[in-house]
Chains A and B, each alone.
Chain A
Amino acid sequence: MDLDPEDVFKDEEDDPDNEFFQQSEGSKEYVVYLVDASPKMFKTTSPGKDQKDETHFHVAVSCIAESLKTQIISRSYDEVAICFFNTREKKNLQDLNGVFVYNVAEREQLDRPTARLIKEFGCIEETFMKEIGSQYGIVPGSRENSLYNALWVAQALLRKGSIKTAEKRIVLFTNEDDPFGGLQDAAKKDMTRTTLQRAKDAQDLGISIQLLPLSCPDSEFNVSVFFSDLIGLEGQDLAQFTPSASQKLEDMKDQLRKRIFPKRIVRKIRFHIANGLSIELDTYAIIRPALPGEITWLDSVTNHPLKIERSLICEDTGALIQEHPKLFQPYRNENVKFSPDEIADIKRISPGLLCLLGFKPLSCLKDYYNLRPSTFLYPSDQEVVGSTSVFIALHRSMLRLKRFAVAFFGAVSHPQLVALVAQDEVTSAGAQVEPPGMHMIYLPYSDDIRDEEEIFPDTADDAPRADEDQIQKAAALIKRIYLKDYSNHQFANPALQRHYAVLQALALEEDDIPEIIDETAPDEGGLARSAVVKAIEEFKLSVYGDNYDEESNNLGKEKAAEASRKRKAVAEDAAKGFDWVSLADKGQLNNLTVAALKNYLTAHNLPVGGKKEALIGRILSHMGK
C-alpha cells in the first residue's frame, strides 16, 4: 500500500512512540522587514559574491528573499510583512506618506509566506521603480518623517496576536546612518525626538527592533550617530555591533533548510530509584531523523485534497466489519485468538515508569548496543519537589565514577531495557553545545543481537591477523586522513536538501532546480595530496604486496561466474525434460510450476523476474509465438 508517503526517508523502524509531531502554532514569530528604499540605497554599491558590485537595495531584497525561502520550510507558521520606506508611492492602512507595504494577492499584509509572495518578491527589482518608486522622505522644509511613519506602520502591522504567544520583531535595513543629517537644528532635534519616542513605544509593546546596516566600502556605517539610541545599544554591545550585524546578514542568507520543531516535552515519566523515592523527569526528542514533511494526497484532475477511508472486509463473506476485530496467530494447526486489549496487556509492563536496576562502568556499554535514536532526560520539580536535587546528585556521581545506569523503561508500546548515560553541560563561545542531563539509550535484548562475525571461521586455522608493521602503516594512514574537529552533525542530508530544492523550484515555477552541495562527498582533493597517497600506497604494499590489482579484479568475479555457469547447466538439464513447443501450442504452459518455467528462461538467458503470466508471456515471445 502506498500509504506511507515518506518511505524514502523513513527508516524501517521509525520511533514507534511516534514522537514526531506537527509544528504547532504555539510559539510563532511575527516579523516586519523595513527596507529603506531611498535613492541612496540604489546609488551605493558594495562588492557582491562574484565580485560584481551590487546595490544595497539588491543586497537587502535578496537577503529577505533567501530568508523567506528558508522560512517557508523551516517555520512556515511564522508571519511576515515587507514594508519599504522612502518611497514615492504610498500604500498603508494609516495612509502615511513615503511608506509602501508590499503584498501579493490572497494574502494579508502580515501573514504566512506563500509561494506567490516569494515568487513575485523575487523579481521586485524589475518593477520597483515603476510601481513603488524611490524618493527621499525626509527633506528640509517638509514636516514629513518617513522613518517615523515606517515605524508606525510596522507597529500597527504587529498589533496582531498576543505578545504572550508570539515574538514580534522589526528588522530594519538601511545604509543611512544619519537620517536627519540634512535638516536644520530645530527640525532635526524635533524629528529625532519623535522618532526615538515612536521606537520606544514599539519596544514597550514588546516589539524588538533589529538593525541590519549596510556599509559602503569607503564609509563605515556609524551606528552611534543615531541608531544606537533607536535600538537601545550601550557600552560593549555598541563596540561589537557592526561585526555581529554583518554576520547576521550572512546568516540570514545561508540558513539551512530544516524544519524547526519547538522544544516540547515528549512525555513526563517517573524515575523509580528506590522504594518511596520516585522522581519526576521530562523526556525530549533531541535527535530524530528529519523527514521532509507532511504529504497530502490530491486528486490530480481537480487538485482537491483527498481523504483516506479505511475499511475492514471479511475475506470469507465480503461483509464490512465495523467493530475492532480480534487478532489471531495460527499456531498448532489452529487459530489462537486474542482481543486487542489482551495484546495490550501482554505488552504492558509498568507503564510510564523508568525503574532503576543498577549501575555499570561505561566500558560495559558496547558500541553495538543500539537500536533507535536516544531520548534526552531532564529533571522537573513541577509536581514532585526535590526531583531535581536527586537527579543532579546521581548525574554528578555517574559522571565522576564514569558509570551508567541500567533501567527498565515501561514505554506503553515498547517496554525496553535502557542505559542512562549522564551528559555534562558543554558550552562553546557562550552557546550551549550539549545540554546537561541524561541520554536514554535503548538496549537490545539477546534475540536482537546477531553473531554474524562468528559464522565464517574455518575450523582448521586461526583467522589471519595483521602484523606489527602493517598496523604501523595503518596508523600512519590514519594520521594522514585525520580530521581534528569533526562535529557530530556537520553534514546536511543531501537527499533532504535536494527534496526542498525541488519543492521550491516546483512551487515557485522556477526553471532551474537550485544546485545543492553534497557535503557528504569525500574530499577528493585532500585524498589526492601526495603525503596521503604515499601513506595509502605504503599500507597497500604492506598488506597486499605487489599484486593488489589482480586480486581486486579477479577474485570475486571468478567465483560468481562459476556459480552462474553451474546454475545455468542445471537449468538447461531441467529444461530438457519438457517438450516446450508442444506445451506452448496446447496452451499448457500454465500447468507448469514457476520453477520449471524459470529453468527454461535461465537456459535461454532470459530474465526470470515477474509473475507467472509474465514468465509465460516471455517464453512465448521467445519462441516467436
Chain B
Amino acid sequence: MARNKEKLVLLLDVGPSMHGVLPEIEKICSMLVEKKLIFSKYDEVGVVAFGTEETNNDLTTEVGGYENITVLQDIKVVDGDLIDTLQNLPRGTLDGDFLDAIVVGMDMLIKKYKDIFKGKKRLCLITNAIHPIKDSLEGSKEDQVTTIAEQMTAQGMKMESIVVRGRLSQDADKRIMDENDNLLSIFSKKTRTRNVYVGSPTSLLGALKTRRLTPVTIFRGHLELSPQMKIKVWVYKKTQEEKFPTLKKYSEKAPVTDKFATHQVKVDYEYKSVGESSTTVIPPEQRIKGYRYGPQVVPISTAEWDAVKYKPEKGVKLLAFTDASKIKRHCFMKDVCLFIAEPGNTRATVAVSAIARAMKETNTVAILRCVWRQGQQNVVVGVLTPNISQNDKIPNSFYFNVLPFAEDVREYQFPSFNSFPASWKPNEQQQKAADELVQMLDLAPSGKEETLLPEFTPNPVLERFYRHLELRAKQPDAAVPPLDETLKKITGPDPELVSENKSVFDALHRHFELKPNPKLKKSSRQFYREKQFGSNALESDGQAVKSIENQLPVKMEKIGDLTPVQDFEAMMSQRDNPEWVGKAVKEMRDKILALVIHSNEGENYHKVVECIAALRKGCIIEQEPGPYNDLMRQLRQYCQGKGIESLPQLLASRDLTLISKSEAEDSDVTYEEARSFFVKMEQKNPMD
C-alpha cells in the first residue's frame, strides 16, 4: 500500500577519516536495499555522500553553499542499480559537514513529496562526527540545529544517526566530538531521532535495522490486577527471530523456450491406506485424527474435540507478585513480549510506571496468566519484569517472558560435582587460571563499549545469504564465500582480545591437560571425534583444519570417477573391516554399469575394460566369483539387446571372460563355459 512505502535518504560520510569503515557501510547499505528489493519493493531510497571532492546537489545550485555534498542517487524506487551505487561509494577527500548533509537530505524529501506524505519519511545518517560543522551566519550552532530539528518534526520526518566511534576514531579531538554529540542529542530530544554509537565494524553492521516491520500488537486490552482494577495495555513482540527466507522449489521441467513458465513446484500430500497395495487416496473428509492411548489409537474427530476442548476466556490476569530470585533465567521459554500502557492514555501510563518502579525497588516480578485471543486453546503463564526507561520521552514498560508448565520440565538428575573424584576437580592453580580467564576475557570492560551486544550484532548467516544472493544475481555460478573478517568476530574469538591476554591463555595451557580417552575402543565414530579434538587450530567455515589424524592415509569410502581402478584397489586393501570388500565390489559393479550405460559411441569402453580387469583380479584374489560373473552375464545381455559389438570384442581380446572353477573354487562355471562365453554371443548375433 502506498501509505506504507518508506522514503529513505541515506546520508553517508565518505570523508578521509571514514575510509576505514566504508566497506562495512557499503555492505550494510546494500543489505538494506537488498532486503527492500525482496520484502518491500516499492520503498524509495536516495543516497547522499558528503566529504566528497565534488559538489552536486540542488541546494548549491539554488542558494549556494553546501559544498562537497554529492547526491549519488536521487530518491527513486529501489532497484539493482542502487546496490551497485552503494557498493562503490566514492572515497572522499575532505572532512564533511553532517549538518549540511542533513539539510540537503531534508530538502530532497520535501521537494519530492511536498507535503503529500506525512509518515514514513526517514533520514539515515552515518558519520563519525569528529569534524566540526561550519559556524552559522546567524545565531549559535545550537540555534541552527534547533531550527532544523523543528523543521524536521514539522515535516514528519524521522532520523536515525549512527555515529562510528571507539576504536575507529581514536585520535579525534575530544572537544569537537563533545560538541557534535551535543548537537546530535538536540535532534534526539526535539525529533524522533535515534542516536546510536558504535565502536567496531561488526557492530556497525548490526546498528542499522535493515528490515522494516510494521509493529503489530498481539493483545490490546486490560491488564487485570483484580476484578476491580484494570490497566489498559498493548502488547507487542519485543524479540522475534528473523528467519532464513523460505526459498521456493524450482522446477526445471518447463521448456527453456517457455517465457511465462513460473518454474514453481506444488507440494502435494496424499493419504493412503498402509499395507494395501491399492493406491486409492483417502479424501480429507474421510480422514480422522487418531491419538495414541497406550498401544491403541483412539480416533477423535475435530468436531468432537471442539465440543470438549479447553477454552479459556481472553484476558491478561495477575496471579501474584514474587521475589525476582524465584524465577530462574533459564526457564524463559520463548521470544519476549513487551507490555506498554495504551498510547495516549496518561493514567494507564502512570499506573504502569508506578508498578514498574515499585517492582524495581522491591526487586519483585509479577506472574501473569494470559489468553491473548478469544478462541485460543491454551493459556500462557509468564513473568512480567520492569523496564525502566532512561530516556524521558519513552514511557516505562514491562517485559514478559513465558514460563514452563509442570509438564514442560523434565526432572533429570545429574551427579553433583562434589561427588566427583579429586582428579576430575580443578586444583588451586587450575582454579586460578580459570578465574583469570573469566575476568580477563572481558567483553564488557567498564568505560568501554560492550562488544557483541545483541542489539548491534548482525546475524552472520543472513548477512552471508543476502550478500551471496546479490553476487549470484550477477554471477550465477559463484561459490558460497567464507565469512569475512568482520563477521568472524561473531563466530570466533577476537584475535586482538586473545593476543592481549596471551599470558592468561598460556597459564590455562600450562595447568590444564586434555587427552583422548585411551580406554575407548577405536570406532569410526571415535575416529571422527578424535580428529576434531586433536585439531589445534579453530575450525571455521566448515573446513576441517589439518590434524595429526589427517596425515594418515585417507580412508577410501567411495569409488570416484577419476581413478576408479586405484580407488577400488585402495578400498579392497582396507583390512580393518571385512565389509570393505563387499562394498568395493558393489561400488565397482555399479560404476561399470553406469559407464557402459552412459557411454556415447563407445568412448568409455576403454575405461570399462580397465575397471572390469581390476574387478576380475580382485574377485579372484578374494575368491568371490559370484558378483563378477553375474555382472558379466548382465553385460552380455545388455550388449546383445543394444547390438553393441565393440565392447564384447574388447573384452574377449583382453581375455576378460567369466571366472571359472579353476580360478575360484566357488564358481559354477566350467573352464569350457568360460572360454566360449563371448563366442556364444557372436554366434547368436547373426541369428537375430
Contacts and interface: CB of A to CB of B under 8 A. Distances in A.
Contact of A397 (B245, B438, B529): B438
A384 B517 contact: yes
Contact of A317 (B227, B253, B299): B253
Contact of A350 (B153, B423, B542): B542
B514 A112 contact: no
A326 B296 contact: no
B405 A316 contact: no
Nearest to A388: B424
Given A449-B238, A466-B350, A396 B416 contact: no
A139 to B, nearest CB: 39
B488 to A, nearest CB: 9
Contacts of B529: 268, 383
B407 interface: yes
A286 B401 CA distance: 18
B239 A368 contact: yes
Given A355-B538, A522-B317, A321 B265 contact: yes
A477 interface: yes
Given A307-B273, A336-B476, A556-B342, 20 more contacts: A287-B410, A294-B292, A306-B273, A328-B248, A335-B250, A353-B539, A358-B493, A359-B441, A373-B334, A448-B454, A450-B213, A463-B389, A464-B395, A471-B361, A474-B355, A483-B319, A483-B321, A520-B319, A532-B226, A539-B354
A451 B456 CA distance: 13
A448 B209 CA distance: 10
- Which residue, of A343, A499, A520, has the highest number of chain B Cβ atoms within 10 A? A520
Contact of B336 (A260, A368, A478, A498): A368
Contact of B454 (A9, A335, A444): A444
Contact of A1 (B269, B273, B452): B269
Given A313-B265, A317-B254, A401-B438, A76 B294 contact: yes
Interface in B519-558: 520, 526, 529-530, 532-533, 535-542
B191 A332 contact: no
Contacts of A370: 239, 332, 334-336, 401
Given A287-B330, A441-B330, A495 B321 contact: no
B540 A350 contact: yes
B273 to A, nearest CB: 5
Interface in A406-460: 406, 408, 410, 415, 417, 421, 423, 425, 432, 434-437, 439, 441, 443-457, 459
A504 B293 contact: yes
Nearest to B397: A453
B435 A347 contact: no
A298 B299 CA distance: 7
A398 B455 CA distance: 24
Interface in B431-451: 431, 433-435, 437-439, 441-444, 450-451
Given A304-B274, A537-B228, A453 B517 contact: no
Contacts of A449: 238-239, 454-455
Interface stretch (B50-58, B464-472, B603-611, B619-627): B464-472
A536 B239 contact: no
B264 A315 contact: yes
B457 A277 contact: no
A375 to B, nearest CB: 9
Given A368-B239, A489-B403, A456 B434 contact: no
Interface stretch (B96-104, B136-144, B302-310, B564-572): B302-310
Contacts of A367: 332, 336, 385, 387, 399, 401
A414 to B, nearest CB: 8
B166 interface: no
Main secondary structure of the interface of B (DSSP, over half): mixed
20 contacts: A76-B295, A273-B437, A298-B299, A299-B273, A304-B273, A306-B273, A315-B266, A317-B253, A327-B249, A330-B248, A364-B450, A370-B332, A371-B239, A371-B335, A392-B426, A445-B462, A446-B206, A463-B389, A486-B322, A491-B405
A452 B395 contact: no
B492 A350 contact: yes
A302 B287 CA distance: 10
A104 to B, nearest CB: 12
Given A309-B269, A471-B354, A488 B403 contact: yes
Contacts of A464: 346, 349-350, 353, 395
B405 A486 contact: no
B508 A445 contact: no
Contacts of A401: 435, 438-439
Interface string A362-404: 0011111111111010100111111111101111111011010
A129 B76 CA distance: 91
A502 B308 contact: yes
A482 B364 contact: yes
Given A308-B269, A332-B80, A457 B461 contact: no
Contacts of A453: 338, 340, 387, 389, 394-395, 397
Contacts of B451: 358
Interface residues of B, number: 221
A346 B480 contact: yes
A389 B515 CA distance: 12
A115 interface: yes
A417 B356 CA distance: 30
A624 interface: no
A261 interface: yes
A182 interface: no
A447 B443 contact: no
A11 B414 CA distance: 29
Interface string B29-73: 000001001100000000000000000000000000000000000
B190 interface: yes
B350 A470 contact: yes
Contacts of B454: 366, 369, 417, 443-446, 448-449
Contacts of A297: 271, 287-290
Contacts of B191: 459
A560 to B, nearest CB: 10
Given A76-B295, A297-B271, A447-B459, A390 B251 contact: no
Nearest to B319: A522
Nearest to B347: A544
A506 interface: yes
Contacts of B378: 8-9, 493-496
Given A298-B289, A466-B357, A536-B229, A355 B492 contact: yes
Chain A to chain B: the 9 pairs with minimum beta-carbon distance, closest first? A466-B354, A439-B330, A393-B434, A474-B358, A446-B206, A393-B426, A327-B247, A495-B378, A358-B443
B654 interface: no
Interface in B279-335: 282, 284, 286-301, 304-305, 308-310, 312, 317-323, 326-335
Interface string B220-257: 00101111111010001111111011011111111000
Contacts of B251: 312, 314-317, 321, 325
Interface in B374-413: 377-379, 381, 385, 387, 389, 391-397, 399, 401, 403-410, 412-413
B405 A355 contact: no
A293 B292 contact: yes
A622 interface: no
B329 to A, nearest CB: 6
A544 B351 contact: yes
A392 B318 contact: no
B192 interface: yes
Nearest to B385: A367
B483 interface: yes
A133 to B, nearest CB: 29
B310 A495 contact: yes
Given A315-B265, A374-B332, A389-B512, A383 B367 contact: no
Contacts of A551: 345, 347
Interface in B178-213: 190-192, 194, 206-207, 209-211, 213
A355 B156 CA distance: 46
